[in-house]
Structure 1
């Protein structure tokens, strides 16, 4: 087997799929990239059994098709330190010896048998659902929700993003019990109603490669696996089993207190004031009055405190509510609108954060649970 390929192009593709490889792999072959040459098309695969990612690129001077597993760490380290140039790969199909010939040198190592590499799961046609989603829309939905997923071994359903398809919209939901994000797209619909929970790792992999892709993504899923087919990549992953909590039940509907505030100003103020919050609680207090909000924090153990006042439009009763500063900062960072709406009912119930400026085809809602304020 022999082929010639651009070093930088090969590195770009391998780095994108290398994130699928686990650092604690139980099978030695899973520390490798599966390399398959068919005609002028080079297919590269990385997997940890739960998530498998494949990409393809066109090669030059192809001789003899074949399959072999290349050690991933060694190959990536070579490519990272090489300037852009054509590389010639020559693989001995009997000994699995690999020669990489560059402009000024030659590198030799031994691959592993491709037959040892696990087979990809296949979609169960009789149980599968399918839809096409623009790459930019899928990227937005994952980016808006991924930060709110949990790391909870006792409730694995919270460790992923819920996808809900319906004739009305496509909904992305994530929650870690402290914050919740619901992002709906009214311009993405299906003729059926279905849902699945995408784990955090494949969601992160998609977030990494989707900015490079144009066009639509083919999404197929059955009871066990999801398949994302992009123009240059394909991702297959095992889904999270279980039923997602009824998230709509925890979203408060009647919120008489409403504030409109500059998002960037609030985020910057929060960043400065939260430095003075207690290290154990990260508590910051927001005190709302007619035309301003006062952000304050204190750490009694070190006798430090800070407060800042911000102009805002506030309609409601004067009130003070407390939040974990890092959670509030996450929400402010993941809203694009220059101004935001914060809706509240009382200091013990969840606050709703909404974008002030939004498009007709999207509905974005973020929820944050408050912290108790000690008198």
Structure 2
């Protein structure tokens, strides 16, 4: 194999591929990226056996071929090369090395045989559809903060993507919860997604998926089966195993009869919570909300460090209510709001609270209260 490629193009492709590589693993080949060159383009493939990323880039291919090289080291070398440099990659099977040249810089990197590199087997996908990157980004960006990190409840360690019924209409829905907060986000159901099985996309795959969704007008091809999910553009494809488990019936924890309504400027609310939480203990970060007569008082009492209080003008016409929340959870939910106002719906101080973005029913959040 021998190719020439512009440094910026090479860096983008290698950076997106190598990010799935685990820094610590017991299988040497999994630390490598598979480089394959043929017919005017080069591909970079990396995997941790659960996720596979393949990134394609245009290149001048003098000699087709393939090899594997340490992904992290290769990425670091390319990152440190001068902007605009023309990079030449040439492998030598006799010496088991890959020569990287750019200007006066030259590196000879140890390679491993391409035959040893595991390639994720193709699956027979149940459903395939196209969705704008902007819509898919919204689904995952607004739900991923609620993914659980508790390994014992492994079925909560991802985002549940499925087809749902909403007021007689079918939607593409993403849900995540850790038992303390929940996010439920809907989008219009794309053509071809009707028969899609519900799948739990793992946390790491959700993070890697963000790299595909940088350009708003890019269509994302989504393929789903009971065991795998694939997201692809013309340049890059991410394939991931899905979590083998059953996501709980989240509809049971979404309150339906909360009648006490608070409407507040989302940005002002987030900043105020952040300020008063400064004096709270790191363990609980408890913030008390007191609501009465279009007034909201946020307060924190921390015996070791002091007290804090801030008042906000809000729209609240129901009976007086005092309720406490983990400040981190409040902030994460408030920061999801794209619209000007956040609408909180309460029942009692011991019941789950529901939050919406203005009058938009497509984004619903639930947070559990805590004693203060």
Q: How does 1:134-213 map to 2 (within 5 A)?
A: 134-165=132-163, 168-186=170-188, 188=190, 190-192=193-195, 194-212=197-215
- C-alpha distance in structure 2 between counterparts of 1:67 and 1:115, whole Å: 10
Aligned to 2:273: 270
Deviation at 1:277, TM superposition (A): 1.8
Aligned to 1:29: 29
Work out whether 1:338 is the aligned partner of 2:340: yes
Deviation at 1:228, TM superposition (A): 1.4
Which residue, 244, 249, 262 being the options, matches 1:246?
249
- C-alpha distance in structure 2 between counterparts of 1:284 and 1:47, whole Å: 43
Q: Is this contact kept in 2: 1:37–1:65, CA < 8 A?
A: yes
Range 2-11 or range 92-101, more displaced: 92-101
Q: How does 1:118-129 map to 2 (within 5 A)?
A: 118-125=118-125, 128-129=126-127
Unaligned segments of structure 2, at least 5 residues: none
Partner-residue secondary structure (3-state), 2:170:
coil
Q: Is this contact kept in 2: 1:213–1:232, CA < 8 A?
A: no
Residue deviations 1:37-84, cap 9 Å, x none? Answer: 111110101111011100101112x22211100111221121111112
Q: How does 1:66-77 map to 2 (within 5 A)?
A: 66-77=65-76
RMSD: 1.5
Work out whether 1:366 is the aligned partner of 2:365: yes
Q: Is this contact kept in 1: 2:30–2:47, CA < 8 A?
A: yes
Residue deviations 1:199-251, cap 9 Å, x none? Answer: 01011001123114743222112221111122211111110011111001111
Aligned to 2:82: 83
TM-score (ref. length: structure 2): 0.95
Partner-residue secondary structure (3-state), 2:316:
strand
- C-alpha distance in structure 1 between counterparts of 2:57 and 2:284, whole Å: 50
Q: Is this contact kept in 1: 2:197–2:225, CA < 8 A?
A: no
Q: Is this contact kept in 2: 1:171–1:182, CA < 8 A?
A: yes
Deviation at 1:198, TM superposition (A): 0.2
Residue deviations 1:142-180, cap 9 Å, x none? Answer: 101111100111111101000012571100100011110
